[in-house]
Homo-oligomer: A and B are copies of this chain.
Amino acid sequence: MDRKIFHRLFEERIVMLDGATGSNLMQAGMPVGVCPEKWILEHPQHLIKLQRAYIQAGTNILLAPTFTANRIKLAEYHLEDKIREMNMQLVDLTRTAIAQENHRGFIAGDMTMTGRQLQPVGDLAFEELVDVYKEQAQILVEAGVDLFFVETMMSLAEARACVIAIKEVCDLPIMVSMTFNSDGKTLFGSTPEASVIVLQSLGVDAVGINCSTGPKEMEALIKRMVRYASIPVFAKPNNGMPELIDGETKYTMTPETFAEYGRALVEAGARAVGGCCGSTPKHIEMLKKVVRSVEPEATKPVCTRVLSSESAVQEIHLDGNFLVVGERINPTGKKKLQEMLRAGNMDLVVQMAEEQTERGAKILDINMGMNGIDELEMMKRAVYEVISVTNLPLCIDSSHVEIIEAALRIYPGRALINSISLEEKKCRPLMRIAKKYGAMAILLPLSDKGLPENLDEKKEIIRRLLEIADEEGLSRDSLIIDGLVATVGANRMAALETLDTIAYCKNELQIPTICGLSNISFGLPERINVNTAFLTMAIANGLTMAICNPGQAMLVNASLAADLLLAKEDSDNIYVENVVALSQTEQTAAKNVAGVSEEGSRV
């Protein structure tokens, strides 16, 4: 199915999904403990009958019964060699059901988790999992599915692997459905917000929730997704939680009750509904009757500039409170960190991640650029180590395209790329990577000719970078512009030019800005004063974020005070809660001055 046709479906109506498969087949006699796909193929009439009933009830998109037909799951039954024929035959069953119902309905290739855990939690390598998913996805494409339905995902990292795999074999529409526990998080800790941000930025066509703890509880989760959704959100709840009655688990919610909750889900913003465990064609039929009459409200994401880790999102607003991008995880000028990295020791990286998180950084920059190490491998290790101790989103910082790609590929969130300049060889490749992995990107107004000589030249480079970004399909909302801070000691106009750039980006382009700080004061004594004054002025001019050291209390306090003075939202409370006492300031400032000097200049 062409993705445009998929999206048109959602414009026309509330799309109906199907109900449960497994629980209905068990009712029909499928025993516990068998390979479901094998049993289905041995008893094809049960599935065909069930799916015909779903079509009759109004289902538009049917899931082919290929749910766990991936190599790892099939291997549990020693059926891994049958993967191709099983997936082909399973899709054929659904095709048959549709054919028998006057060819109404689309076939979705159904995929889910493998049961093995990804690194760094488990031992499954990301590329191994991608390969497993690619294998099944390739077969499903050949079997003729119209779209993909990746469901019951309790790991956002695994959902990403599956989406990347599918996208590397075809351009069919992809719906991804996460499953949340009663605490509103997936088993692996992801929230609805993080899920929708990460998946839609990766280019999936619809994102939703299935199974979980029933239709009533799902309403709040759907609302949380809809807040950030630019694509259709769907709900496929189980029929309430099963009860144990006479030794059997039973789902007791009536189709009428189920359908009433379904109405609430649509009112909450769901653009497609169906059922999961315990639901039957009756439930889908009632659901369809109820939601048919609901006029869905038009929704609009509250914020489209959002970064995310696997578990938490960070909104970025043009007029929002200033954000610190922690700069510490970068070996440039840090001897001790260099030594430890050469020895393969990540302890200091982990400590820096923890400290910066504690000191209020909102994003962490990761740069592994130094001699004598395998930067690509160390970057991947650093990403895994850092995400194990912080839920802040990351900013991937490298001068090598392949290292940025490697990090973005494994990173289970929506990262920021630092940075894309107007260098012939790297500009488009990096933008394509940003697009593919759904990253946001910092545009740096530098070209192959070097630093722009004046503000006009800087603006011209920015204009050209935005033009290329448009050509490469990067949305404006995924871009941040670096103010490009030169050294005031070398160019007396350096600060004014950067301040003008910041104001220009904010007021005329309406694009957020970032800048580094330490460069401005290179060569001057007591640099913290210059950095702090520059940061204060830059925030007053509209600076959105800066790459700096959140351990420098003078800087952080200045940014808190600046937000307060600019009357930004809740900034008075934020100031009072976060300002660091001056006694601490002094100690930290003194400690960090050495750090600033040591680290030297940075563009």
A579 to chain B, nearest CB (A): 5
Q: Is the CB of B579 within 8 A of A520?
A: no
Contact, CB under 8 Å: B579 / A590: no
- Residues of B contacting A586 in the complex (Cβ-Cβ under 8 angstroms): 582, 585-586, 589-590
State whether the Cβ of A536 lies closer than 8 Å to any Cβ in chain B: yes
User: Scoring A residues 574 to 593 as 1 if CB is less than 8 Å from chain B, else 0, what string do you get?
Assistant: 01100111110110011001
Are A562 and B537 interface neighbours, CB within 8 A?
yes
Task: Evaluate contact between B525 and A579: CB separation under 8 angstroms.
Answer: yes
Min distance, Cβ A530 to any Cβ of chain B, angstroms: 4
A520 to B564 CA separation, bound complex (whole angstroms): 11
Q: Given that A524-B576, A589-B582 are known contacts, is A567 also in contact with B492, CB under 8 Å in the complex?
A: yes
Q: Shortest beta-carbon distance, A542 to chain B, in Å?
A: 12
Chain B nearest Cβ from A489, distance in angstroms: 7
Residue A79 CB within 8 A of the other chain: no
- Is A540's CB within 8 Å of the partner chain B? yes
Q: Across the interface, name the chain B residue whose C-beta is closest to A536.
A: B536
Partner of A488, one of B488, B565, B580: B565
Among A529, A557, A575, A585, the most chain B Cβ lie within 10 Å of the Cβ of A529
User: Could you tell me if A566 and B525 are in contact, using CB atoms closer than 8 angstroms?
Assistant: no
Contacting A557 at CB < 8 Å: which of B489, B529, B536, B579?
Answer: B529
B496 with A566: CB separation less than 8 A: yes
- Which B residue sits closest to A558, measured CB to CB? B533
Inside 8 A of A558's CB, which chain B residues have their CB? 529, 532-533, 536
A270 to chain B minimum Cβ distance, whole angstroms, is 38
A577: nearest residue on chain B (CB-CB)? Answer: B525
Interface residues of A in 518-541 (CB under 8 A from B): 520, 524-526, 528-530, 532-534, 536-537, 540-541
Which of B526, B562, B565 meets A579, CB within 8 Å? B526
Question: At the interface, yes or no: A572 with Cβ under 8 Å from chain B?
Answer: yes
Judge whether B540 and A575 touch: CB under 8 Å.
no
A493 adjacent to chain B (CB < 8 Å): yes
At the interface, yes or no: A560 with Cβ under 8 Å from chain B? yes
| Complex interface: chain B residues within 8 A of A567 (CB) | 488, 492-493, 495-496
Proximity string of chain A (330-344) to chain B, C-beta cutoff 8 Å, 1 when within and 0 when not: 000000000000000
**Nearest CB to that of A541 among chain B residues?**
B540
Q: In the bound complex, what is the Cα–Cα distance between A560 and B525 (angstroms)?
A: 12
Q: Are B581 and A520 in contact (CB under 8 A)?
A: no
**Partner pick for A489 among B525, B530, B572, B579, CB 8 A cutoff:** B572
A561 on interface, CB distance cutoff 8 Å: yes
Q: How far is the CB of A499 from chain B (nearest CB, A)?
A: 8
State how many angstroms separate the Cβ of A516 from the closest Cβ of chain B.
15
A 487-528 to B, binary, CB cutoff 8 A, 1 in contact else 0: 011001101100100000000000000000000100011101
Complex contact A492–B525 (CB within 8 A): no
Chain B residue at minimal CB-CB distance from A563? B533
In the complex, the answer to whether B492 meets A572 with C-beta atoms within 8 Å is yes
Chain B residues positioned under 8 Å from A520 (CB to CB): 565
Cβ contact within 8 Å between B495 and A529: no
Contact between A530 and B488, CB atoms less than 8 A apart: no
Residues of chain B within 8 A (CB-CB) of A580 are 526
A493 to B572, CA, bound (A): 11
What 0/1 readout, one digit per residue, does chain A (264-287) give for beta carbons within 8 Å of chain B? 000000000000000000000000
Residues of A within 8 A of B (CB): 488-489, 492-493, 495-496, 499, 520, 524-526, 528-530, 532-534, 536-537, 540-541, 554, 557-558, 560-562, 564-567, 572, 575-576, 579-583, 585-586, 589-590, 593
16 A–B contact pairs at CB < 8 A?
A: A496-B565, A524-B564, A525-B581, A526-B557, A530-B561, A532-B532, A533-B536, A533-B561, A536-B558, A537-B562, A540-B540, A554-B554, A582-B589, A582-B590, A583-B590, A586-B586
